[in-house]
Amino acid sequence: MDIAGSTALVTGANRGIGRCFVDELLARGAERVYAAVRSPETITASDPRVSPLYLDLLDEKSITDAAAVAQDVTLLVNNAGIATGANLLTDDLDDVRRDLETHLFGTLRVIRAFAPVLAAHGGGAIVNLLSVLSWAATPQGSGSYSVAKAAEWNMTNGVRVELAGQKTLVQGVHLGAADTDMMADTDAPKIDPLDVARASLDGVQSNTLEVLVDDPSRFVKAALAGDPAQLYGPAPAE
């Protein structure tokens, strides 16, 4: 699809990768961008094409209300998310559930609400911001997040199959670490979040199902076909 003239909705649009998506969509000629966030007053863009919109992934009514307002959407960018930092074995299970409710069920609620809107405009496209942690876990603080992102990844595959009949492109975007507030405490190489938005939208324009933005995502994806020891080291000695 062509970004120029499209109408997009971006969740989590007030900072980080979401804000970069808004900026890049405008730069590519989007006719309108709904900046969907929990606090619309935080959207300060001066461009008249930006429309702040209340949406909370954990509030189903806010999602259905947003879909009722944004009936002209042709491109949906599911960017909003959290990271509780919970370990699977030692931290509160409510934190694990919150990661899943946000990334899996919250994103799915948005897709379910907007799928008929996209169908009405010929199919359009959905972008789901995933992670290299969809495919691998790290030793500290990523267990719960990895589980949620792995679930969101296969949900992305599932809705892609179910929406093929209405000609909706469903794209999954994977990356390691981007220089955002969420990753501020992470001691790792970080890419510019604008590079994520650019790579994804290039993929939308070329009808690409999966976008691997950086070297870590490409390495881990390739390693999945090999020995897990490439990612986790050898099995513990007896």
Q: Digits of tens for pLDDT over the chain (238 positions)?
A: 999 999 999 999 999 999 999 999 999 999 999 999 999 999 988 999 999 999 999 999 999 999 999 999 999 999 999 999 999 999 999 999 999 999 999 999 999 999 999 999 999 999 999 999 999 998 877 899 999 999 999 999 999 999 999 999 999 999 998 876 665 566 677 899 999 999 999 999 999 999 999 999 999 999 999 999 999 888 887 6
Rounded (10°) angle between helices 60-69 and 107-120: 20
Q: Which residue has the tokens 């909370």?
A: 56
pLDDT tens string 122-161: 999 999 999 999 999 988 778 999 999 999 999 999 999 9
Instruction: Tell me the pairing of strands 210-212 and 169-174.
Output: parallel
- What pLDDT was estimated at residue 165? 98
Whole-angstrom CA distances from 114 to 98, 124, 145, 149, 194 are 23, 10, 25, 21, 25
The answer to whether the Cα torsion of 10, 12, 16, 17 is positive or negative is: negative
Does the domain spanning 7-227 belong to CATH 3.40.50.720?
A: yes
Give alpha helix (H) positions in the chain: 16-27, 60-69, 93-100, 107-120, 143-163, 193-205, 215-223, 229-232
Rounded Cα distance, 116 and 38, in Å: 23
